[in-house]
Amino acid sequence: MNPLNHVAIIMDGNGRWGLKHKNSRNAGHKAGLLTVEKIIEETIKNKIRFLTLFAFSTENWKRPKKEINYLFNLLENFLLKKIKELNNKNIKLKIIGFKKFSKKLNHLLNISEKKTSRNTKLQINLALNYGSRFELLHAIKGLSKKKEKINIQNIEKNLLTKNIPDPDLLIRTGNTRRLSNFLLWQLAYSEIYFDKKLWPDFNQKDYSKIIKKFKNTKRNYGNI
Ligand code: IPE
Ligand code: IPE
Ligand code: MG
């Protein structure tokens, strides 16, 4: 059985779910947040140490302002309401992405990270304004500026995921089979599962099934 240390999730399908059920994409984002809470619980139950959630990509700025504002409001309210609870559950929150938000949100993200920084049960990496190409470019530019050797180890040290092991398992919901600029370097040897369900419909049972399949997959890493 494979050990499972790190799960990464592309939480896709909120907009379609919202349109279908409530005639509003934003209603789908709201419903998707409930799935996030359920999946965090299940991750803890499975004793998984790292959970990385793709919440907003560097390309998602192309969306209408109304949707972007709604998403960041949702995040702000979630943190204000839940950070204490996350902290009590011994969960560490880390933002991976470039923190270029409103002053208020940047501050809230920073204090949420700081407050939970010593927690040890589960580390949640929230990918916010995250894009893999930009991350790699930033890392390589940083190395060249510092006149450090460009090698695998040094690149990894300069990624936003520094000190985080690579995901063992990537799940994308929403019936779409692509990576959308997510963790391109880090997913080199991850097992990938695409689920047809839209994120708000994805549940603990679906998650457990994937985990079970993952645990019984032979991982070769180029070997036989
Ligand atoms: C993913 O759901 C969540 C974010 C990108 C914030 P979408 O909003 O992409 O939902 P669909 O893919 O349009 O249904
Ligand atoms: C990926 O979903 C980003 C997040 C889940 C945050 P998108 O819905 O933005 O991806 P594309 O545009 O369909 O590739
Ligand atoms: Mg989408």
Instruction: Please state, in angstroms and as integers, the Cα–Cα distance from residue 132 to each residue in 174, 188, 203, following that order.
Output: 20, 13, 27
Report whether 203 contacts 35 (CB < 8 A).
yes
Rounded to 5°, the CA angle 51-52-56 comes to: 150
- 224 found inside a domain: no
Pocket of ligand 2 contains residue 128 by CB under 6 Å: no
The model carries a pTM of 0.98
Instruction: Return the ligand 1 atom nearest residue 60 CA.
Output: 5
Pocket of ligand 2 contains residue 170 by CB under 6 Å: no
Domain that holds residue 145: 6-215
With bands split at pLDDT 50, 70 and 90, how would you rate the model's confidence at 81? very high
Q: Dump pLDDT digits (tens) for 136-186.
A: 999 999 999 999 999 999 999 999 999 999 999 999 999 999 999 999 999
Which residues are the active-site residues? Answer: 12, 60
Pocket of ligand 2 contains residue 204 by CB under 6 Å: no
Which ligand is in closest contact with the Cα of 172? 2
**Looking at residue 131, which CATH number applies to its domain?**
3.40.1180.10
- 1 found inside a domain: no
**Total of domains in the chain:** 1
